[in-house]
Amino acid sequence: MAANSSTGSATEPPGLETQWREIDNLSQQQLRAGDSWYLLDKRWYDQWKEYVHAGDQNSSSYPGKIDNTELYEDLDSYHLKERLSENEDFVLVPAEAWHKLLSWYDMMDNQPPLERKVVDLPSTVKVEVYPVEIYLCLSSNMESTVSACFSRADKIHAIHQKIRQHFNVSETAESRLWMRSTDTSSERLRNLNMTVLDACLSSGMTVIMEIRNADGTWPTSRPQIMRNSADEDSYRGPPGVCGLTNLGNTCFMNSALQCLSNTPPLTEYFLRNSYLEELNFTNPLGMKGEIAEAYADVIKQMWSGRHYSVVPRVFKTKVGHFASQFLGYQQHDSQELLSFLLDGLHEDLNRVKKKEYIELRDADGRPDQEVAEEAWRNHLRRNDSVIVDTFHGLFKSTLVCPECNKVSVTFDPFCYLSVPLPVSKERVMEVFYVSLDPTAKPTQYRLIVPKAGQVIDLCTALSQATGVPPNQMAVADVFNHRFYRIYQADESLSCILDRDDIFVYQLSSGCVDQEGEEVVMAIYMRERSHYRDYGSGSNSYSTSLFGHPLLISVPRAQCTREDLYQLLLKRLARYVRPLDPSEEVEEEEEEDEEELYKAQTNGVSDDEGEEDSEEAGPSKKEEETQESGQAEEQNNCQSEASPSSEGEERAEEEESSSEPDRGSSTEEGQSASGSTDTNSQDATDGDQSTGVEPSGKEEEDEDEEEEEEEEAASCAQANKRLPGRRRYTERQKKALFTIQAVNSNGTTERGMGEADGGFSFSSQPYIAIDWDPDMKKKYYNENEAEKYIKHQSMDVPHQQITVQLQECIELFTTVETLEEENPWYCPTCKKHQLATKKLDLWSLPEVLIIHLKRFSYTKYSREKLDTIVEFPLRDLDFSGFLLKKTVNSTEPPCRYDLISVSNHYGGLRDGHYTSYARNKDNGQWYYFDDSKVTYAREEQIVTSAAYLLFYQRQDKIRQPTVPPPVPSSSQPENHVSSQTHDGMDGASSCVSMETD
């Protein structure tokens, strides 16, 4: 079942249940620093789980060799792809489990094992999937670099020693290190005992060693690689108009920081140094003032007017230290970072040094005004800071018991409003429809289906466009030239992601299930190599998938090689050129027995040259006379006695032909056209002789009849009486390809032949069409095979939903029923109840943050809502939403103006964050994209990417203290040309449309 491993012979695997139990138990063990864990391709692992759970050693889900191909960027360097996600792209298994799987299934040739170490990081222990790859060089020759990988738990001292060793720097030479993150930004690495993680070193950065000169000076007293170069010392720009360098997937942090930086009351609080008197070093819920100090450093740099971009490295380190979820350089949610930061700043700046215990009381029928004032006083007794002053408001929560109608009213503080977006009940899906007409190209359709629908709903929508009944359609997810999944009609559409390539195949009528008169076959296209791979312990040909797979329905009575071959020829007629009549029959061939012997002993012969002892087809038998039939029988006997004769004939043929045709072997032709296979079997290699690819693992087919075995025996006896030189003639059909039953991945061949020359299937059948490279090049039109047409539905632009911000706020205040996972304990019923809940706004803060809940997570689906929310830049009036009505004219109005927006471009797994903000000093709007800053116009601000909205109450907004700059057509003075995006190719195009 498993081929020999490069590390040794594969052991016989235990039973499937035992395999699952052993691997599952080992995978439950805890992470320990220093242990080794291994990355395993998620698709292979899922295939293995399906196989062991099937409980059938001959199941079609047999996974084959461990294959991590999809995890590599390329197969030359075996460099791991970026941004792979655990449990989506790969799984982690401990070393013992890995070695067991390796011994049972072996691994694809030349692939290195993906071993990773467990590291002990602050607040967590985790497997370090991506070690830090750093470039090392000397300041005297910065063009000559060498890359080296380090753990985040390594000390900077390890990097220092590595540079010394590689560049032969004497231990007595005095040196210092510089860390360069961009072409214009570098910082000194002063503390060699700091870890790589704490130094915020990330892959791609360069560490430079500078060696002191003999005269005691440094080569660069003010090195150009330093951030604070002479050019920047002379820079003067508008305060606050400053970019933030992307440290590696930190755009989410930069976006949130820019919004807070342009929140006037908070920024002025730090610029006045008011925070120094209010730092709380003893708060057990705080961070000993470190977050507040790190944030203050960033704000002071950004508002000094001396930098066009600031590197928030220390701040990033502090955030990761106190919130382990932000460790490393993965993409995160800007709202989650903002929530942590506001809470951290509040606790670090909390004026309450010792929090008292307060027992909360229910309203019990008291007036709302009284209960609200009591709740706010109690809140301030424990929480009093600039964050509370600026961002905290109060809302009323009303719960009603569905059984006893008990009403519970409480007033709770909030720091931001997370408002829902209206969710459409429909979904737009794009599919490729493959018709039964072999001359028709696949057609791409755009369909509108129910979001909570099933696959049959997708077929119904497509049926309306094509006229084909839904029960004659099969839906499949095509990935990497194979079927990743074939869907059943009753499966939920939530299983299908927008990024999946969905193909819908038209099937003939009557193929409803596998038990019916017709069977649905999955057809893969494979190309085999010219030569066999004997080094892997097998003498089979290696194959690779190509092109688009097919789903076809075939009557069970026609599951013979002859019928399948003819059916597939018709099905592929659009891009497969048929054989000319002159090419279908091979000519007379002559061989010398002595030459045959030499070819056989020199290893020229292989199973590709073996010949069948039967004639090509029934039509040939009707045409030939009895004498020719006897001559054919004699020649076939010679063929069986010397299976290498075909190989030598082809060798001579190739020498005399300008176009060598490797696909013309007699063995391939007869097997594909349905002739009975009677090829002899080479005793030295044990290949099966079924007219299909020998795999080296499968048993010999059992489809030869008794009379053929007797004939083969008589031929062997006749061969003993043949003279030293002989002549024979053979006329056979030639085929374009061979057919092989395979597993669902198209990687492992299965011997499923029966005595009548047909196939039998116990589960979903997968068939591979195997092409010889030369035959494929000659007869297969790759350009035509890839063509498709677009239906007119694709030309209809997707209508984005547009809603008003006020609608979202109304949804926030709508009555809802609690979920089963979060019931309310009714004090009257003395049990948990699914009560109705209603939230109402009571009082609003000076700065109101509105979080648009674009990311929707349910038990059945995950999606990002690209709804356009139209929000006003001025005069957002909340008076209609507040329960607390104005008592007198001295209370502040409820009108707000927009001051900043955090944007998110992209989808769930990847994306890019930017921000718009209005400068408090000059009133000008700017667009912040990491270190790049440009002017912005007000009409650019409202987009479908808006994620966080910052509003300031109008009575607190001051008029600009300096006249706004006049934007010109040229680049702004502080523009930085370099720009970083976090795995979102589309972000750059979005940015270019929304900036000057």
* Residue 977: how many other CB atoms lie within 10 Å: 7
Please state, in angstroms and rounded to a whole number, the distance separating the CA atoms of residues 23 and 96: 9
Q: What is the DSSP letter of 653?
A: H
Query: How far is CA 837 from each of CA 367, 397, 823, 829, 831, rounded to the nearest angstrom?
Result: 19, 7, 11, 17, 17
* Residue 10: how many other CB atoms lie within 10 Å: 19
Taking Cα atoms as reference points, which of 767, 602, 736 lies closest to residue 665?
A: 736
Please state, in angstroms and rounded to a whole number, the distance separating the CA atoms of residues 384 and 347: 9
- What is the dihedral sign for C-alpha 959, 965, 966, 969? negative
Residue with tokens 């799987």: 101
Taking Cα atoms as reference points, which of 733, 730, 732, 768 lies closest to residue 749?
A: 768
- The residue annotated as part of the active site, out of 137, 200, 251, 826, is 251
Amino acid at site 401:
C
Catalytic, 912? Answer yes
Residue pair 737/577 in contact (Cβ under 8 Å)? The answer is no
- 535-569: buried (b, 16+ CB within 10 Å) or exposed (e) per residue? ebebbbbebebebbbbbbbbeeeebbbbbbbebbb
Q: Does residue 249 sit in helix, strand or coil?
A: coil
Residue with tokens 């079609």: 60
Tokens linked to 889: 């004219």
Catalytic, 251? Answer yes
Contacts of 121 (CB under 8 A, 6+ apart): 152, 153, 197, 324, 327
Q: Does residue 395 sit in helix, strand or coil?
A: strand
Residue 928 sits at φ, ψ, to 5 deg, of: -110, 120
* Residue 402: how many other CB atoms lie within 10 Å: 14
Q: Rg of the Cα trace of the chain? A: 36
Residue pair 705/676 in contact (Cβ under 8 Å)? The answer is yes
Q: What is the 3-state secondary structure (H, E, C) of 324-379?
A: HHHCCCCCCCHHHHHHHHHHHHHHHCCCCCCCCCCCCCCCCCCCHHHHHHHHHHHH
Residue 144 sits at φ, ψ, to 5 deg, of: -95, 100
- The residue annotated as part of the active site, out of 307, 321, 904, 912, is 912
Tokens linked to 90: 């790969």
Q: Give the DSSP letter string of 766-794.
A: EEEEEE-HHHHHHHB-HHHHT--EE-GGG
Residue pair 178/187 in contact (Cβ under 8 Å)? The answer is yes
Residue pair 435/415 in contact (Cβ under 8 Å)? The answer is no
Alpha helices in 558-695 (DSSP H): 561-571, 593-601, 618-623, 626-641, 645-656, 666-673
Q: CB-side exposure of 26: number of CA atoms within 13 Å?
A: 19
Q: Enumerate the active-site residues.
A: 251, 912
